[in-house]
Structure 1
Amino acid sequence: MRLSILDQAPISSNQTAAEALRESMELAQAAEELGYIRYWIAEHHDLPGLACSAPEVMLGYIGANTIKIRIGSGAVLLPHYKPYKVAELYNMLATLFPGRIDVGIGRAPGGSAEATNALSDNFLQQVWNMPSSVKDLLYFLDNTIPPEHPHAKVSASPVPTVAPIPWLLGTSKKSALLAAENGLSYAFGQFMSDQDGFEIIQLYRNHFKPRKPDQVPEVILTVSAICAETSEKAMDVALSSLVWGLQRKRGEGQEGVPSIQKAKEYFQNEREDLLGEMRQGIIIGNPHEVAQSIQELQDKYNADEIMIVTITHSPLDRIQSYKLISEEILSK
């Protein structure tokens, strides 16, 4: 099984944004040592408790402090940007770190309506234009701009010796078909979807059209997981993330991911069924339990790779979770 990491760069209640971003770099270093093949970092805008608004900046920092792990965006929110500029940024990264760069592409706003308006004009129109923007981005990344294209006379320099690998991230049939029609690898966000992922992934595989010779469909399944030495400890560690998710849903959680103790105090006044409701979609348990659940998901979805997102209050608990999962799955 291939394992990788999606990092949302969470800020804990006792951290500054600078400390959280340094922890992201150290997570990528740990991932490389533990045998994870890929590390992606997400893009969010003016969302309390999430530190990374510019993955391309973090990837330069992370690439310089790692050796071989693939690194990329999870995702570039393309409707905010011109495809040419995105291609320039990731070609630059691929020039600095040859054979290691991925470009994950998404269509979400990544923040509030106010942040979206501050970032770009006509966002909804650019979402509508997403298929055209994806094609343009691929022309620049593949260096295959047709002569009749209005930008045929420019290239996204520097042109690297090994091009970045583009992925499309999504949770819908629309995103699956867009990936398939453009010969893109596809990352399905199971951790943030209530859709039938099996049907969506099969739709992608059935409609895949190779963009290059010998290209085959490739699927990453992204899941949320928290692992600890025992099931009881895993549940304690997971409380911070669960409570923070609830607080954000209620417009709270401005101070970041709470400590386990604060999370337990928060739950004292909540309905008993709320915890079970919040746990849906998150894998929580000891190494055997988590590995078994991940294996079942891989089998169900026929995924080529499992990407794991883990949010905890303590950076040590987060790295330990990834360590236990890798030891249980990759060492056997």
Structure 2
Amino acid sequence: MALKFGILDQSIVFPGQTPAEALGNTIKLAQLAESLGFERFWVSEHHDSPQMAGASPEVLISHLLARTEKIRIGSGGVMLQHYSPYKVAENFNVLASLAPGRVDLGIGRAPGGLPRSTKALQKGLTEHDSLADKLVELEHLLHGSFGEDHPLAGLQANPLPVQPADIYLLGTSVSSAQLAAERGYPYAFALFINNDPEAARVAFETYREHFNRAKGAEPRAILALSVIAADTEEEANELAGHFKSVRVTLASGKTVNVGSLEQAEEFAKQAGETYTAEVRDADITRGTKDAVRKRLLELRELYDVDELIFTTIVPDFEKRVRSFELLKEAFEEQPA
């Protein structure tokens, strides 16, 4: 099977930019991804963060579908823990009716923000179903209605599309891989968030070993990672800068990944808990197109994945575009 490529864009508001400009660049990148022949383009969900303009992936996906023609557009991801599966199904059934066969519903397990945004999103919520239970409900609503023994029997998330959105599960741990396997979903491991190679290896092994083929699907493993390609090694290293990955462990045992020690401190403060933080250099695949291609093929082999999704955090938009163009050139010139 040929290796497929996608882009995950976080609509980052870089210094000197407005949120409107950041969203405008997201639109341009989706159109670029389509022109380059990438498989899909995903947008993220972040809350209470002035540095991220993508608070509502459903709304942004709708606009991106209208501004493109063929490429798959989706969420990377919708944070289902905050929402009613019924409303998520309605949103994505509308999207799938507008653009049949082009909509991906990536589900994330992270909060997408600090504790106060989680509190605000879940204000008034009386039921706290597990993510697994919510996924079962969501799947029913995307494809029809519940059975007669369900309390909401007969309920439909209209309009029911001819081609419902495809569900993907996103994660950074073995538990997310296990859940994706049980539900028979494609699984994307976010190496750009949890840059622990051993965690990624075990997650993908767990996913393939326990995959439920009862629905007729085959496992589809996706690796999401940070990539920066440039015309020279020196430029790539300069663009990569000094990004850090900080893993926060609260006293309760809950873990979360943030981008700085300041964010770690704020997260713990809002959670009202003591914490420990582990700081790592961000794992960014960087270099010339040939060097990057070599490394990406090594990662494909290492994790036995079917697809790579790139996130490229470069403030200079033209150099971000150049990075994606170089990636395309690298694999066109030397087919995998």
Alignment partners' CA distance in 2, 1:191 and 1:294: 14
Secondary structure of the residue that 2:296 maps to in structure 1?
helix
Report the 3-state secondary structure (helix = DSSP H, G, I; strand = E; otherwise coil) of the residue aligned with 1:150: coil
| SS class of match (2:238) | helix
Aligned counterpart for 1:205 among listed residues 191, 204, 208: 208
1:321 maps to a residue whose letter is S
Deviates more, 1:223-232 or 1:280-289: 280-289
Aligned equivalents of 1:125, 1:330: Cα separation in 2: 50
Distance 1:328 1:279, change over 3 A: farther
**Aligned with 1:92 (options 69, 91, 94):** 94
Which residue number corresponds to residue 288 of structure 1? 290
> Does residue 1:320 correspond to 2:322, yes or no?
yes
**CA distance in 2 between partners of 1:39 and 1:77 (Å):** 18
Partner of 1:139: 140
For 1:56, the equivalent position in structure 2 comes to: 58
How far 1:49 sits from its partner (Å)? Answer: 1.1
C-alpha deviation, 1:125, in angstroms: 7.5
In the TM superposition, residue 59 of structure 1 has moved relative to its aligned partner by: 0.5
* 1:149 counterpart residue number: 150
Determine the C-alpha separation between the residues in 1 that align with 2:179 and 2:280.
31
What is the TM-score when the length of structure 1 is the normalising length? 0.87
Separation in 1, partners of 2:60, 2:295: 31
- The one-letter code sitting in structure 2 at the alignment partner of 1:196 is A
Decide whether the 8 Å contact of 1:223 with 1:309 is kept in 2.
yes
- 1:159 is aligned to 160
Q: Secondary structure at the match of 1:191?
A: coil
Q: Larger % of strand: which? A: 2
Q: Deviations over 1:257-279 (max 9, x none)?
A: xxxxxxxxxxxxxxxxxxxx864
Distance 2:174 2:215 in 1: 23
Q: Deviations over 1:179-236 (max 9, x none)?
A: 11111111111111125211211111111113533x1111111111111100101112
Structure 1's 180 and 306: CA in aligned 2 closer, same or farther, altered over 3 A?
same
The match for 1:13 is 15
- Relative to structure 1, the CA distance from residue 319 to residue 125 in structure 2 (aligned partners, 3 Å threshold; closer, same or farther) is farther
Shift of 1:284: 1.3
Alignment check: 8 A CA contact 2:82 2:122 kept:
yes
Contact conserved, 1:105 with 1:168, CA < 8 A, in 2?
yes
Aligned-partner Cα distance in 2 for 1:223–1:97: 27
Identity value in percent? 39
Kept in 2: contact 1:4–1:307 (CA 8 A): yes
1:268 — aligned with what?
Answer: none
8 Å CA contact 1:88–1:156 kept in 2: the answer is yes
Instruction: Assess, with a 3 A threshold, how the Cα gap between structure 1 residues 282 and 124 changes in structure 2: closer, same or farther.
Output: farther
- Whole-angstrom distance in 1 between the partners of 2:74 and 2:48: 21
Q: What pairs up with 1:246-257 in 2 under 5 angstroms?
A: 248-251=259-262
The 8 Å contact of residues 4 and 39 in structure 1, kept in 2 or not, is answered as: yes
**Aligned-residue offset at 1:144:** 5.2
Distance 1:124 1:249, change over 3 A: farther
Distance 2:286 2:172 in 1: 22
Query: Greater helix share, 1 or 2?
Result: 1
Number of the residue aligned with 1:129: 130
Residue 225 of structure 1 contacts residue 309 of structure 1 at CA under 8 Å; is this kept in 2? yes
Query: Aligned equivalents of 2:142 and 2:117: distance in 1?
Result: 28
Q: CA deviation at 1:244?
A: 11
State the SS of the aligned residue for 1:167.
Answer: strand
Which one-letter code corresponds to 2:71 in the other structure? Answer: I
Distance 1:122 1:312 in 2: 39
Q: Residues 169 and 125 (structure 1 numbering): CA distance in 2 closer, same or farther, change over 3 Å?
A: farther
One-letter code of the match for 1:328? A
Offset, 1:280:
4.4
Amino acid at match of 1:20: A
Residue 220 of structure 1: SS of its match in structure 2? strand
My pick for the range that moved more, 56-65 or 142-151, is 142-151
> Mind listing any 5+ residue stretches in structure 2 that lack a counterpart?
247-257, 264-278
Q: After the TM superposition, which residues 167-246 of structure 1 pair with which residues of structure 2 at under 5 Å, given as runs?
A: 167-193=168-194, 194=196, 195-210=198-213, 212-213=215-216, 215-239=217-241, 242=243
The aligned amino acid for 1:249 is S
Q: CA separation of 1:305/1:107 partners in 2, compared to 1, >3 Å: closer, same or farther?
A: same
RMSD: 2.2
Taking the aligned partners of 1:302 and 1:123, their CA distance within structure 2 comes to 40
SS in 2 for 1:328: helix
**TM-score by structure 2 length?**
0.86
Quick one: higher RCO (CA 8 Å, sep 6+), 1 or 2?
Answer: 1
Q: 2: CA distance between counterparts of 1:243 and 1:210?
A: 38
1:42 to 41, 44, 62: 44
Deviations 1:278-328 (A, max 9, x none): 644111111111111111000100001001111111111111111101110
